[in-house]
């Protein structure tokens, strides 16, 4: 069994049962069992992305994940963007399957948090503002994930990940995980050095072999720079009005010019441009291209955070995680060494005063 560096063992590792403080973001459609198992078996913490999925699919995914790993994991649901009846059925099925942890996102829905907490589950909540973090803490969540505006996919707040994490660390007693633009060991080391309990990564794991994203999406990320991402609310069908997403620029965003925001989902056309089997994927919907998708992939939202510029190749998820941890260990060791040298000099000066 691999012995991890003690600098990477944080409170989140003890609480969640992972070896290193790297969380897989619960990317809807992308973070299926294969990717979740790969991250968990490599020492990270896995989250199944089950946003608006049917209870039967959730059961199949949970069963497949449990067959592929004995490591703990969470299921990601988004109460504020899910029909209440479906959400109730999702949570009921998860609890029946013995799911022990949930990761929630978007607006805090107290009844959802309290329901699963009453069943003894761990709750992680991704927030984009200090007010949302306060509400989540008041509801009894166990972990706060500080999502910055650099993040790919749906973005709830408008400030940077480290700026938000700093605010949370000053105010909360809960473990804080940094999310947004982190795709290498430098980001992990920076988060741990500031006192955060870990990081959550989406884009870094989307561009891996096990991700359920379409190869076209993965290749676009590998080719992208941080400046190639765009924040817009035009890909809003299936989500509440005004929901912003960070995507790679494409023909849709180019046609918007400077009008990236203010799109009313009720006024957008419902035009099929792609399919997953017999399920139509509409222009302006939140659906990104998956392995099973055919059609006009270029016009679909290609979710990517600003960390895309750090990703240069397609690798197994275990390799991505190992690269991050190796780099973080070197940086943290270097920082620790400098601190020891400074302390030794300081102590020497004190003795000669």
Question: 347 pLDDT exceeds 80?
Answer: no
* Per-residue tokens: 165: 């994490």
Using the predicted structure, report yes or no on whether residue 198 has a pLDDT greater than 70: yes
Which residue has 């509400």 as its token pair?
135
- CATH value of 16-212 in 3.40.50.10540, 3.20.20.70, 2.60.40.10, 3.40.640.10: 3.20.20.70
What is the mean pLDDT of the segment spanning 189-214? 98
How far apart are alpha carbons 24 and 208 in whole angstroms?
12
Q: DSSP labels for 164-182?
A: HHHHHHHH-SS-EEEESS-
Residue 349 has pLDDT above 90, yes or no: no
Q: Which two tokens stand for residue 301?
A: 């939202």
- For the cut 90, the answer to whether the pLDDT of residue 348 exceeds it is no
Average pLDDT over residues 19-37: 98
Q: What is the mean pLDDT of residues 155-181?
A: 97
Q: Residue 341: is its pLDDT beyond 80?
A: no
pLDDT surpassing 60 at residue 90: yes
Place of tokens 């949302």: 132
pLDDT bucket at 5, cuts 50 / 70 / 90: confident
Average pLDDT score over residue span 318-339: 90
Separation of alpha carbons 278 and 207, rounded Å = 26
CA–CA distance, 79 with 84 (Å, rounded to integer): 7
Q: Which residue has the tokens 């020497």?
A: 348
Average pLDDT over residues 232-255: 96
pLDDT range class, residue 194, cuts 50, 70, 90? very high
Please choose, from the candidates 97, 150, 96, 112, the residue with its C-alpha nearest in 3D space to the C-alpha of residue 128: 150
Q: What is the pTM of this model?
A: 0.94
Q: Mind listing the pLDDT tens digit for each residue in 202-228?
A: 999 999 999 999 999 999 999 999 999
Tell me, what's the pLDDT at 1?
A: 43
Q: What pLDDT is recorded for position 314?
A: 98
Q: Where are the domains of the chain?
A: 16-212, 216-308
pLDDT beyond 50 at 74? yes
**Could you tell me the pLDDT band of residue 336, with boundaries at 50, 70 and 90?**
confident
Mean pLDDT along residues 228-255: 96
Q: What is the DSSP letter of 74?
A: E
105-121 pLDDT, tens digit per residue, is: 999 999 999 999 999 99
Dihedrals phi, psi of 230, to nearest 5 degrees: -135, 140
Mean pLDDT across the chain:
95
- In the chain, pLDDT over 70 holds for what percent of residues? 94
Say yes or no to pLDDT of 44 above 60: yes
Identify the residue whose tokens are 């988060």: 191
* pLDDT greater than 60 at residue 83: yes
């Amino acid at each position: 069994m691999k012995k991890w560096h003690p600098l990477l063992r944080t409170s989140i590792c003890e609480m969640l049962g992972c070896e290193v403080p790297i969380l897989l973001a619960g990317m809807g459609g992308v973070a299926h069992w294969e990717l979740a198992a790969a991250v968990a078996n490599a020492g990270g913490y896995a989250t199944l992305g089950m946003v608006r999925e049917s209870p039967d699919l959730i059961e199949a995914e949970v069963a497949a994940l449990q067959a592929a790993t004995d490591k703990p994991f969470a299921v990601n649901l988004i109460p504020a963007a899910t029909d209440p009846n479906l959400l109730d059925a999702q949570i009921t099925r998860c609890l029946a399957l013995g799911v022990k942890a949930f990761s929630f996102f978007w607006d805090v829905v107290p009844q959802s948090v309290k329901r699963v907490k009453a069943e003894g589950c761990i709750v992680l909540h991704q927030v984009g503002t200090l007010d949302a973090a306060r509400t989540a803490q008041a509801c009894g969540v166990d972990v706060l994930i500080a999502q910055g505006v650099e993040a790919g996919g749906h973005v709830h707040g408008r400030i940077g990940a480290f700026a938000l994490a700093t605010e949370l660390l000053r105010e909360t007693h809960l473990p804080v995980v940094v999310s947004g633009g982190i795709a290498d060991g430098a980001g992990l080391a920076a988060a741990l050095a500031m006192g955060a309990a870990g990081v959550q990564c989406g884009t870094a794991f989307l561009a891996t072999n096990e991700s359920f994203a379409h190869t076209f999406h993965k290749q676009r990320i590998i080719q992208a720079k941080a400046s190639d991402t765009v924040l817009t609310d035009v890909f809003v069908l299936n989500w509440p009005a005004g929901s912003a997403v960070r995507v790679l620029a494409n023909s849709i965003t180019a046609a918007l010019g400077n009008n990236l925001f203010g799109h009313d989902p009720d006024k957008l056309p419902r035009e099929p441009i792609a399919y997953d089997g017999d399920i139509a994927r509409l222009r302006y919907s939140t659906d990104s291209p998956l392995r099973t998708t055919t059609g006009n992939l270029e016009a679909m939202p290609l979710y990517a955070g600003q960390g895309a510029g750090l990703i240069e190749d397609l690798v197994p998820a275990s390799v991505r995680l190992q690269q991050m941890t190796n780099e973080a260990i070197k940086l943290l060791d270097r920082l620790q060494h400098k601190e020891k040298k400074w302390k030794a000099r300081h102590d020497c000066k004190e003795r000669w005063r």
